[in-house]
Structure 1
Amino acid sequence: MPAEPSRAAKVSFPTLTSMVVGSMVGAGVFSLPRRFAQESGVAGAVISWVIAGFGMLMLAFVFQTLAVRRPDLDAGVYAYAKAGFGEYLGFFSAFGYWASACVGNVTYWVLIMSTIGQIAPALGDGDTVLAVVLGSVGLWGFFFLIRLGVKEAAAINRIVTVAKLVPILVFIVLALFCLRPHVFADNVHGAGHVGSLFDQVRGTMLATVFVFLGVEGASVYSRHARRREDVGRATVLGFLSVFAVFASVTIVSYGILPRERIAQLRQPSMAGVLEAAVGTWGNAFVSVGLIISVLGAYLAWALMAAEVLFVAAKDEDMPRFLSRVSRADVPVPALLLTSCLSQLVLVITLFSGDAFDFALDLTSALSLIPYLLAAAYCVRHAAGAGRTAPGARRELIVAVLATLYTAFLLYAAGPKFVLVSFILYAPATVLFAMGRREQGRPVFSGREAVIFAVSVAGAAMGVIALALGWIHL
């Protein structure tokens, strides 16, 4: 095993902020017009963004609070779940967060191939054999890039973050300039949509979760921060900036085309909207911006996913081999496992009815349990050990609101993706068992055995539901 560096590579506040923005601004923003138009009109979209913005802001405050109150905990999402609810649920949080990142990475390659598929029909909607092969080449190319070193990869991400925001902001400005008031008015109540306003809002919730994944980016990467207080500041600043962009992209699109036409656009639907506004060059402009954006987001997410596995292994909650790092401070075994799972899911997209939407929703569902456990831990900390700290009452209220929001998201996700998530969670316990065996400890305590039994039952139900056709990929 190569010698571990004497200290972790340090990154600045602007770089941490760019990692939060870079993590969130990826494939999701370019898919927002169609995803929202399929479920909702303007009124439902506005309500959805208000709920999502408020709820995710509460989560951002949770991560900011815990970064300050518990500076001893690194890799936020995983560490907070373990501190609050024990090693096994901490493992679940680490694995769920890591798996959501891996599945999310697949959406990037699917969307890139779908974008190029506009001029290369053999790539289809990003779900053909050729698309999977080319996506796999890109996936492993990034693996070797990140092996060069954390600081080098972070610096590249900072540059790409600036570059990819330009086409998105240009889209918003041009859409506002070309906005047709009568079209926007017709779309207010979701003309032609038969669902209630509540159904419209519920239908868009997983999409909002997906685009906000990464709000915890600075917290996950906290061991590399020059100053601990930069973690919380970067989280909130990055969130507020991205929220304004996401909501704007969604709402202005309703002023260009009728909702039904937006709902039928191929992904990336933002390209189709701008083409309708300014002509074919608009499609090309957005498509180039998407490729830059998605490649930058993939870089940030691959880094964060590997970091979670690395820290979990350092804490002996996963096998020791995942704690190895190179001389460049890169957790290579964790990065390799990340790339392998992404590769597996990329192949599975060949058998999905809608590869992009399925991967997007599964990514969101996998992330909800880690988010819920982190918010619930903040409630316990604010009500317990942290109750005497200045501002503890405000922190408790924020944590309760964040917990309620994530619980609502689980309800909005519905049983389909919860069951599919269990299919991944249950067998992953093998990694937990390997770590316990290495330490010469029993695999489960009494309470942990109960949790494992529940996860196995959920996985069995998920497999049965898939086999009988009750749920579909």
Structure 2
Amino acid sequence: MSLPMLTAMVVGSMVGAGIFNLPGRFGTATGPFGAIIAWAIAGTGMYMLARVFQALAERRPDIDSGVFAYAKAGFGDYMGFLSAFGYWLGSCLGNVFYWVLIGSTLGRFFPDLFGDGSAPAAIILSLVGIWTFHFLILRGVEQAAFVNTVVTIAKIVPIIVAILIFIFVFNYQQFSENFFGGVGMPEKTLVQQVRDTMLITVFVFLGIEGASVYSRFAKKRADVGTATILGFVGVMGLMVAITLLPYAAMPRATIAGVSNPSLAGVLEVVVGHWGAVFISIGVLISVLGAYLAWSLICAEVLFAAAKSKDMPRLFAAQNGNRVPANALWLTNIVVSLFVISTYWSRDAFNFMLDMTSVTSLLPYLLVAGYGVLLARSGAGYEKTPSDRRRDLSFAAIAAFYVLIMFLAAGLKYVLLVAVLYAPGTILYVWARREQNARLFAPAELAVFAVTVLAGLVGVVGLVTGFITH
């Protein structure tokens, strides 16, 4: 893959579903002042994480499929497995969210049939779509990556048109009225307002590692880091504009009240029904394109983990088109089961979004942690020792940011993620038995015990109704 193709992979992975729901999610949580603070925190934290990915790509060019491989290099086999499993699981949950968004977008025009995206008709449509894409991807990764590049261009157009329209109707008085919270909205402290935006900011940045995951396909290793930074800067600009400009077009209460996808709703208020139709078409193109990118990433992570013996060797098998077929089959079976489960969720849309965000935090934390370890050790810095202190600072800030995101998520989501992590260890045991290797080092056994305990608490919480979704 060339630099433009790798950059499109980053942009295609990041610009998916979340960006089309930013106005409503932020409008519900905060006014422009809180939004500016939230983006400053999220932008700084994720930029630092992007720089960590860039530094690791340069210092450890021998490591492919970076996300979980960095965790293994820094923290051992079991943490490498948890990172791989968590990243794969988060990607699966993200794919479920995409199908819920497609259902809720169609529900805007056919409410009785598709509802909020978790109605039976929406679930059936999702299952048909999942398996259609499955057989498309089995025909070849390179072909699918080309489709992703085309779709990335197609889905940026509606977003830019929406931004231009919001700039044209910008009303300074309306913006200032909304600035510190707006009229008719519940009183919340600024800290609470910012906290309520944090998981959506994590979600919309997922995919920042898209180029790192596909590093084995890069024509030049240096392009991996460059594509990551280019993709981050471009997408950050789009997301800030989509969040802040609607505050200058209507009262915050109106923004908070529109249905998903909220960008379609706010544009409909400004220009009429055609705006909702236009954005909804963009949503469908965008989500299908992002789903394609993330299906590739899901299968690639399982495949790479199996190749490095962190997952059962069953998932290292490729078909004649160089597609990790078994990994793709497991991915889409799991996605299908999660899609069916949305039928029983009270708010499938936001629940899947938040679960995806939290599941992805552990892999990001381990990447940042490895960045700290590598910079402290000096390995890979022999020719440029002056870069060590800078990279150490970037990695430390990135790790601190991810820890803050865990706190912002709250205990509920951490326990629910543990419910999924604990049984996943079966795959680790399977892989270790294949190699006749020791299951756990003493420290790893402690991590496993904490994971199981948290999972049990999560199950009890779900059964007793203490935890709801």
Q: How many residues align?
A: 463
**Partner of residue 344, structure 1:** 337
The CA deviation at 1:180 is 2.4
The CA deviation at 1:329 is 1.1
Percent identity between matched residues is: 52
| Alignment counterpart, residue 271 of structure 1, candidates 254, 264, 267 | 264
| Alignment counterpart, residue 27 of structure 2, candidates 14, 37, 49 | 37
1:364 corresponds to 2:357: yes
Q: RMSD of aligned C-alpha atoms? A: 0.9
Alignment check: 8 A CA contact 1:318 1:435 kept: yes
Alignment check: 8 A CA contact 1:34 1:265 kept: yes
Map Cα deviations across residues 332-374 of structure 1 (whole Å, 9 max, x no partner).
1111111111111111111111111000000000000000000
Distance 1:447 1:217 in 2: 31
The CA deviation at 1:181 is 2.3
Q: What is the identity, as a one-letter code, of the residue corresponding to 2:179?
A: V
The CA deviation at 1:182 is 2.3
The CA deviation at 1:176 is 1.2
1:81 corresponds to 2:71: yes
**Partner of residue 131, structure 1:** 122
Distance 1:336 1:264 in 2: 39
Alignment check: 8 A CA contact 2:378 2:388 kept: no
1:101 corresponds to 2:91: yes
1:408 corresponds to 2:429: no
| Alignment counterpart, residue 71 of structure 1, candidates 44, 55, 61 | 61
Please list, as runs of the form range in 1=range in 2, the aligned pairs for 1:192-203 lying within 5 A after superposition.
192-203=185-196
Report SS of the residue matched to 2:323: coil
**Partner of residue 419, structure 1:** 415
TM-score (structure 2 length as normaliser): 0.97
1:21 corresponds to 2:11: yes
**Partner of residue 466, structure 2:** 470
TM-score (structure 1 length as normaliser): 0.97
Alignment check: 8 A CA contact 1:82 1:89 kept: yes
Distance 1:336 1:430 in 2: 18
Alignment check: 8 A CA contact 1:40 1:193 kept: no
Could you list the runs of 5+ residues in structure 1 that have no partner in the other structure? 1-10
Could you list the runs of 5+ residues in structure 2 that have no partner in the other structure? none
| Alignment counterpart, residue 316 of structure 1, candidates 296, 309, 319 | 309
Report SS of the residue matched to 1:311: helix
1:458 corresponds to 2:454: yes
| Alignment counterpart, residue 424 of structure 2, candidates 421, 428, 436 | 428
**Partner of residue 8, structure 1:** none
Distance 2:304 2:42 in 1: 29
Give 4+ residue runs of structure 1 displaced > 6 Å after superposition.
none
1:158 corresponds to 2:149: yes
Report SS of the residue matched to 2:297: helix
**Partner of residue 369, structure 2:** 376
**Partner of residue 46, structure 1:** 36
Q: What is the identity, as a one-letter code, of the residue corresponding to 1:137?
A: V
Report SS of the residue matched to 2:196: helix
The CA deviation at 1:228 is 0.3
Query: Which moves more between the two structures, 20-29 or 256-265?
Result: 256-265
Distance 2:129 2:223 in 1: 32
The CA deviation at 1:59 is 0.3
Q: What is the identity, as a one-letter code, of the residue corresponding to 1:25?
A: V
Distance 1:245 1:225 in 2: 26
| Alignment counterpart, residue 172 of structure 1, candidates 147, 157, 163 | 163
Please list, as runs of the form range in 1=range in 2, the aligned pairs for 1:224-243 lying within 5 A after superposition.
224-243=217-236
Distance 1:472 1:263 in 2: 23
Report SS of the residue matched to 1:396: helix
Report SS of the residue matched to 1:316: coil
Q: What is the identity, as a one-letter code, of the residue corresponding to 1:124?
A: G
Q: What is the identity, as a one-letter code, of the residue corresponding to 1:225?
A: A
1:149 corresponds to 2:140: yes
Report SS of the residue matched to 2:346: coil
Map Cα deviations across residues 43-66 of structure 1 (whole Å, 9 max, x no partner).
000110111111100000000000
Please list, as runs of the form range in 1=range in 2, the aligned pairs for 1:296-311 lying within 5 A after superposition.
296-311=289-304
Report SS of the residue matched to 1:254: helix
Please list, as runs of the form range in 1=range in 2, the aligned pairs for 1:325-336 lying within 5 A after superposition.
325-336=318-329
**Partner of residue 62, structure 1:** 52
The CA deviation at 1:447 is 2.2
